[in-house]
Structure 1
Amino acid sequence: MAVIIVFEIPGATQAQYEEVTNKMAGGRGGVKSRSDWPVPGLISHCAGPTPGGWHVTDVWESKEAFQRFAEKLAPLMREAGMPDAEPKIYEAFNVVTS
């Protein structure tokens, strides 16, 4: 079952996000397509600034797919100096992609 992952990261910056996504994509300038993710299973991704930090919402094919991704993401976030953030995970009822 698809899951919705929501990160609210107080104090995080666009520069930190760009550093993480660049490393995630192997130094190719960030994530531009689902194939740039280091593990399969991503359905959609969006990210942007909030008044006090950074927000990310992903949809993953399953909680297990997201957990495989999280194992790769956590060290990159630490390297970029991003604050710790615990994602909220919700089961998706409906996912429309196009």
Structure 2
Amino acid sequence: MPVVLVHEGPTLTQERYEEAVRRLNGGRSRMETPADWPVEGLLVHAAGQGAHGFRVVDVWESEDACRRFGDQLRPVLEEVGIKEEPELYAAHTFVSA
């Protein structure tokens, strides 16, 4: 079952997001395809400025895939100063083009 991950908060800024991407992506500044992620299972990734700060939304094919990614992401987030824990929940509905 797909899961949705939503990450936002005062320490998640665009600059810190971009630095985390560089560290996860071998120095490249953008992740453009699911193959750029260090684990398989990503279905959707979107990031941008929201009304309450920078926000990241992912949809993963399973909680297990999301947690595998989290295991690699967590130390990077700590290094760049992102402190908030993301929200994770089962998708009730998921439709893709």
CA RMSD of superposed structures (Å) = 1.4
Match of 2:38 in 1: 38
Match of 2:89 in 1: 90
**1:51 Cα shift?**
4.5
Cα deviation digits, residues 47-67 of structure 1 (max 9, x gap): 112355321110000001000
For 2:18, what is the secondary structure of its paired residue? helix
Whether 2:78 is the aligned partner of 1:81: answer: no
Match of 2:22 in 1: 22
**1:33 Cα shift?**
1.0
For 1:29, what is the secondary structure of its paired residue? coil
Q: Do the aligned partners of 2:5 and 2:58 also contact (CA within 8 Å) in 1?
A: yes
What TM-score do the two structures reach when normalised by structure 1?
A: 0.88
Whether 2:64 is the aligned partner of 1:64: answer: yes
* Structure 1 Cα separation of the partners of residues 50 and 91 of structure 2: 23
**1:6 Cα shift?**
1.0
Q: Structure 1 stretches (4+) deviating beyond 4 angstroms? A: none
Identity of aligned residues (%): 42
Q: Which amino acid aligns with 2:94?
A: V
